[in-house]
C-alpha cells in the first residue's frame, strides 16, 4: 500500500540531507537525458525504419528534418513557391470542381433517394471545403512574415539551445492556433506525404502538394488519365462523406441526421449488399466491419463519380497513350482506374477495390463484353447511390 505522507516525508528527508551539488547534478543529468532521448527519437523516426539507422543519418539530413518538423507549413510554402508548377494547382482545383459536380449529378439522378435527402446531400457536397495543395492564405505578400511574427520578434542572438526553445514555443503556438481554428491546417509532417484525405468532422477535403505530382498527376497527362487516377482519388475521398459514419454528419461536419427514415433504412440495406458480396469473395478479414464497409462505399462512389466525369470529356484533341492507340477508350478508363489500387503493401481486401467495384458496374460489363452471370458481370449487383 502506498502511503503518500511517507513518500513526501522521504522526499523531504532526501532533499534536506543530500548535498546541493549532488541534487543539482541529478537535475541536470535528468534534463539532459530527456532532451537527448527526444533528439534520438526524432532522428530515429526521420531516418529509414531500420532500428540502428539513426546512427547512419547524415547530419545535414538530420538538421533538415528538424527544420521540417518545426516549420512544416513554412517549408511547404517555400517548396510550392520555388519548385512547384502553379498550373498543376489550378488544373487540379478545376478537376476537383468537375468531380464535385459529377457527384452532385449522381445524387440528383438517384432513383431511390427522396427529394429531401437529395437536397441535404447536395448541400453537403456543395459546402465541402477543399484545400488543394498549399495554403493560399500564405501567398498574400507579407503573410509568411506575419505567420512567423513570434519568432521574428524573439531575441535570436544566443545559442542553438535558445533557438530550439523559441521554435518549440512556436510549435505549441501553431498547435493552439489550429485548436482555436485560427490556423486552417494542423502544423505537422502529414502534408509532405503524397496523398489526399477527407476530414468528416469538418466536411473538408485536403489534397497535399506532393499528390499533385507524377505519377498521380501531371498537366501533360490526357484528361481521361487524370480523371481515372486523380479524379477517382478525389471522388473516393468525397465518398467518405457518405460512408456509414460520414452520412451521419451534415454540411458543417456536425453530427446531424439529415436522412428521411425510409432512405436511412434503404441505405443500410444497400450497404449490407456490399458486405455480403465482400464476405462472398473470402477476402482478408483483418479490417473491422465498419472500416471495410466504409472503404467499399468510398471505392464505389469514387469509380462511379469518375466514370460520370469521364463521360463528359471531349475526345477530339485527347492524345492516345503510346502502344494503346487502337485500344477502346472505355476499357482504358477502367484499366487506368485499376492502377489506383496497385502498390507494394496492398492487402487482399483491396481486391474488392477492383474486382468488387467493377463487377457492380453495368458499364464495365458493357466495355469488356462480359456475359451475364460471369464473375465480373453477376446478375445480382450492389448499387449505392
Ligand atoms: Zn480509402
Topology of the domain covering 86-135+192-368: Collagenase (Catalytic Domain) (3.40.390)
Ligand 1 centroid, distance to 180 Cα (angstroms)? 28
Alpha carbon of 297 to ligand 1 centroid (Å): 9
- What's the pLDDT band for 53 if we cut at 50, 70, 90? very low
How many Å lie between the centroid of ligand 1 and the Cα of residue 228?
A: 15
Ligand 1 midpoint to CA 294 (Å): 8
Q: How far is the CA of 10 from the centre of ligand 1 (A)?
A: 56
Question: Which tens digits make up the pLDDT trace of 271-314?
Answer: 988 888 877 665 554 556 667 788 889 999 999 999 999 999 98
CA of 343 to the centre of ligand 1 (A): 14
Q: Please tell me the distance between residue 101's alpha carbon and the centre of ligand 1 in angstroms.
A: 20
Is a pLDDT exceeding 90 seen at residue 119?
yes
Domain boundaries of the chain, sorted by first residue: 86-135+192-368
Residues around ligand 1, an ion, CB closer than 5 A: 298
State pTM to two decimals: 0.76
- In whole angstroms, give the CA distance from residue 75 to residue 95: 26
Contact 351/285 with Cβ under 8 angstroms? Answer: no
Report how far ligand 1's centroid is from the alpha carbon of 366 (Å).
26
Q: How far is the CA of 295 from the centre of ligand 1 (A)?
A: 5
pLDDT in tens, 16-49: 899 999 999 888 877 876 776 665 555 445 443 3
Q: Cα(291) to centroid of ligand 1, in Å?
A: 9
Cα–Cα distance for residue pair 80/211, rounded to 1 Å: 12
Q: Give the residue from 301, 295, 273 showing the smallest Cα distance to 347.
A: 295
Cα of 355 vs centre of ligand 1, distance in Å, is 16
Residue 298 Cα to ligand 1 middle (Å): 6
Amino acid at each position: 500500500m502506498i502511503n503518500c505522507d511517507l513518500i513526501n516525508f522521504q522526499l523531504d528527508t532526501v532533499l534536506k540531507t543530500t548535498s546541493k551539488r549532488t541534487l543539482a547534478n541529478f537535475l541536470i543529468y535528468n534534463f539532459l537525458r530527456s532532451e537527448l532521448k527526444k533528439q534520438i527519437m526524432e532522428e530515429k523516426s526521420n531516418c529509414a525504419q531500420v532500428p540502428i539507422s539513426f546512427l547512419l543519418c547524415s547530419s545535414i539530413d538530420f538538421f533538415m528534418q528538424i527544420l521540417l518538423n518545426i516549420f512544416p507549413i513554412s517549408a511547404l510554402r517555400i517548396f510550392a513557391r520555388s519548385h512547384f508548377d502553379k498550373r498543376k494547382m489550378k488544373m487540379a482545383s478545376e478537376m476537383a470542381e468537375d468531380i464535385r459536380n459529377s457527384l452532385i449529378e449522381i445524387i440528383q439522378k438517384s432513383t431511390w433517394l427522396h427529394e429531401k435527402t437529395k437536397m441535404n446531400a447536395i448541400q453537403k457536397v456543395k459546402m465541402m471545403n477543399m484545400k488543394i495543395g498549399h495554403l493560399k492564405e500564405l501567398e498574400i505578400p507579407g503573410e509568411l512574415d506575419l505567420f512567423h511574427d513570434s519568432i521574428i520578434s524573439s531575441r535570436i542572438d544566443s545559442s542553438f539551445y535558445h533557438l530550439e526553445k523559441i521554435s518549440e514555443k512556436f510549435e505549441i503556438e501553431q498547435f493552439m492556433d489550429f485548436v482555436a481554428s485560427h490556423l486552417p491546417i494542423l502544423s505537422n509532417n502529414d502534408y509532405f506525404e503524397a496523398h489526399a484525405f477527407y476530414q468528416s468532422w469538418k466536411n473538408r477535403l485536403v489534397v497535399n502538394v506532393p499528390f499533385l505530382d507524377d505519377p498521380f498527376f501531371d498537366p501533360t497527362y490526357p484528361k481521361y488519365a487524370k480523371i481515372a487516377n486523380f479524379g477517382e482519388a478525389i471522388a473516393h475521398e468525397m465518398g467518405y462523406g457518405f460512408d456509414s459514419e460520414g452520412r451521419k454528419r451534415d454540411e458543417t461536419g456536425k453530427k446531424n441526421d439529415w436522412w428521411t427514415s425510409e432512405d436511412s433504412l434503404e441505405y443500410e440495406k444497400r450497404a449490407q449488399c456490399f458486405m455480403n458480396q465482400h464476405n462472398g469473395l473470402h477476402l482478408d478479414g483483418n479490417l473491422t466491419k465498419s472500416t471495410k464497409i466504409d472503404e467499399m462505399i468510398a471505392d464505389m462512389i469514387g469509380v462511379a463519380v469518375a466514370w460520370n466525369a469521364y463521360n463528359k470529356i471531349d475526345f477530339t484533341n485527347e492524345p492516345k497513350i503510346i502502344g494503346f492507340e487502337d485500344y477502346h477508350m472505355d476499357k482504358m478508363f477502367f484499366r487506368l482506374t485499376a492502377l489506383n489500387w496497385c502498390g507494394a503493401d496492398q492487402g487482399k481486401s483491396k481486391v474488392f477495390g477492383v474486382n468488387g467495384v467493377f463487377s457492380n458496374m453495368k458499364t464495365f460489363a458493357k466495355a469488356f463484353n462480359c456475359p451475364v452471370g460471369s464473375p465480373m458481370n453477376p446478375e445480382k449487383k450492389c448499387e449505392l447511390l
